[in-house]
């Protein structure tokens, strides 16, 4: 699968998605949290692994399937 297809699939999928607004990121459809520090958040979904790098990252909301993260975001990477 091409990289752009992976991003489109993740951003527009109804089972899992990632949205950014202001200094917040909302991730829905997570299966597990791999890493959680103030500079790095890595989560696994059914289809991909999402790595968010930044500063002052903190979890504002966490449920079984979603995270709401606040902070200063520097990069977002998707891995199959």
Q: Is the pLDDT of residue 1 over 60?
A: no
The pLDDT-based confidence of 12 (bands split at 50, 70, 90) is low
Mean pLDDT within 37-59: 94
What percentage of the chain has pLDDT greater than the value 70?
A: 82
- The reported pLDDT for the residue numbered 60 is 94
- The reported pLDDT for the residue numbered 19 is 87
Which of 59, 61, 55, 60 has its CA nearest to residue 73? 55
H or E element that contains 52: strand 49-62
Distance CA 27, CA 31 (A): 11
Enumerate the H helices of the chain as residue ranges.
3-12
Distance CA 70, CA 7 (A): 21
Q: What are the chain's domains?
A: 3-79 (2.60.40.2000)
């Amino acid at each position: 699968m091409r990289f752009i297809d992976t991003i489109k699939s993740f951003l527009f999928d109804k089972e899992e998605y990632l949205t950014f607004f202001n200094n917040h990121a909302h991730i829905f459809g997570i299966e597990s949290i791999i890493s959680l520090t103030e500079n790095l958040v890595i989560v696994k979904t059914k289809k991909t692994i999402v790595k968010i790098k930044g500063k002052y990252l903190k979890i504002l909301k966490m449920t079984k399937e979603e995270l709401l993260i606040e902070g200063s975001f520097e990069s977002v990477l998707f891995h199959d």
